[in-house]
Each structure stands twice: as structure tokens, then as C-alpha cells.
Amino acid sequence: MVSNDSRRPRIGITTYLEPATWGIWHREAALIPRVYLDAVAAAGGTPLLLPPVGTDPSVLEILDGLVIAGGCDVDPASYAATPHPETVDTRPGRDDHETVLIRAALDRDLPLLAICRGLQMLNVALGGTLHQHLPDVVAHDEHRPRPAVFGATEVKVEPGTLTARILGDSATGSCYHHQALDVIAPALKVTARAGDGTVEAAEVEGKDFALGVQWHPEETPEDLRLFTALIRSTT
């Protein structure tokens, strides 16, 4: 937790390793879209990047909160499933890294916001499973309309939950995913769903602030309520 000094809350954000090009260089780099950094900073925090290299949960000792970011498909081996033909571009090393950080954050009751893939990882880390290709379940592609195009998902929020205290009884999220929660981990409580039944938010029961959403709140800079709530929970 943040002490009584004047520093801004330090919020760790998980990153991923990808080939990248800058200047004359083309090399593997630890990446995260800048919108995550801007959202944390605009909400009053200082973003710190956590690459999936040299994983050490003791890094959480210097953090006031943690964001598990979106990204590629979760490896189905992490929940003992056979890969679906549409499950591609997995990163088992990142899965392992984020599982360690999620479990350590929950053990410490460190404020946690899990975004898109982050919600999926939260469920898997706690013993749940995923729908590997959501269109097989809901018979449409509205959660990922086209490559690099976000969809708009209307969600209904369960009253009396942390999610409802932050967002009210409904919200519109920018979504881009083809995987989603299937079997819900015992420690999770579903707190919002889309009209087609897709789980859109879930909270870890018994924790002050451990919340995951299936959409991308960082893509809506005019609505920082989730990030602001995360920052406020650190004090």
C-alpha cells in the first residue's frame, strides 16, 4: 500500500515478448500498448512494466497495484485442454509468469485489475477453463469483428458487487477477443455478462480489489473509472 508520502501509486503492468522494429533495429522486445500506460498515469498512478523474464513474485513488494494486460491466446495446456484449431500464437512462458504474479498478488491482497486475456488468466490460475473459440458458443463474431477492429459490447452488471460500485448497473466495453470464460474457478464470482451470456467481469471473493473485465477499458480514455478505482484502492 502507498504510504503517507506524496508519491503516486506504483502500478505494475504485465508485458509480452514480441519481435519489434524501431530505427534500424528488428529484435525481440518486451511490449505493451501505450494506452495502458496512459490510463494508469491519467488515473493518478505510475506505471511499471513487468516483462515475462526472470519472474520473481517479490517484485510485488514495491508495487501498490497490478494490471494483468490483454494479449494472445492462453495456452490450453494450462487448463488441461486440447488445442482448438483457432487457438494460435500462444505464449506458455507468459502464462506461467502471469500465473505466478496473480497468485502472489492474491496472497498479498494486492489490488489487481485483470483485462481481457488477464481475466482469462485469472480464471485459469484459480482452476477455471476457457471457451477457446467464442463464435462456436455464441454463433457470431461481434466480440472480435475484424482483425485489429474493436467491437462494442453492452454488459449488464450484477448489483451489490465491486463492479457495480464502480460502473453502475451497465456498461459498454471495447472488446477484442475470441476466447472467454467457460468453467468458472471456485474463487471467482461472475459480476457482469453480455447479452449473449459471455462472462464480461468477475471478482475474486474475499478480496478488497481483485477484479477482471473481458473488455479493454484502456481503449476508452474518456472513461477511466476502473483505473481510478484501482488507484484509489491502493490508499
218 in active site: yes
Please tell me which residue in 98, 116, 177, 203 is annotated as part of the active site. Answer: 116
**Residue 132 phi, psi (nearest 5):** -80, -25
pLDDT digits (tens), the chain, 235 positions: 565 567 999 999 999 999 999 999 999 999 999 999 999 999 999 999 999 999 999 999 999 999 999 999 999 999 999 999 999 999 999 999 999 999 999 999 999 999 999 999 999 999 999 999 999 999 999 999 999 999 999 999 999 999 999 999 999 999 999 999 999 999 999 999 999 999 999 999 999 999 999 999 999 999 999 999 999 999 8
pLDDT confidence of residue 6: 79
140 in active site: no
Of 40, 42, 39, nearest to 10 by C-alpha is 40
Give domain limits for the chain: 10-233
pLDDT confidence of residue 4: 54
| 198-to-9, 163, 175, 177 alpha-carbon distances in Å | 33, 16, 12, 11
CATH code reported for the domain at 10-233 = 3.40.50.880
d(CA 123, CA 112): 13
Please tell me which residue in 131, 177, 178, 216 is annotated as part of the active site. Answer: 216
| Spatial CB neighbours of 61, under 8 Å, sequence gap ≥ 6 | none
pTM to 2 decimal places: 0.96
pLDDT confidence of residue 61: 97
Residues in the chain: 235
Please tell me which residue in 98, 200, 203, 218 is annotated as part of the active site. Answer: 218
116 in active site: yes
User: Kindly report the CA angle at 215 between 19 and 229, in degrees rounded to 5?
Assistant: 105
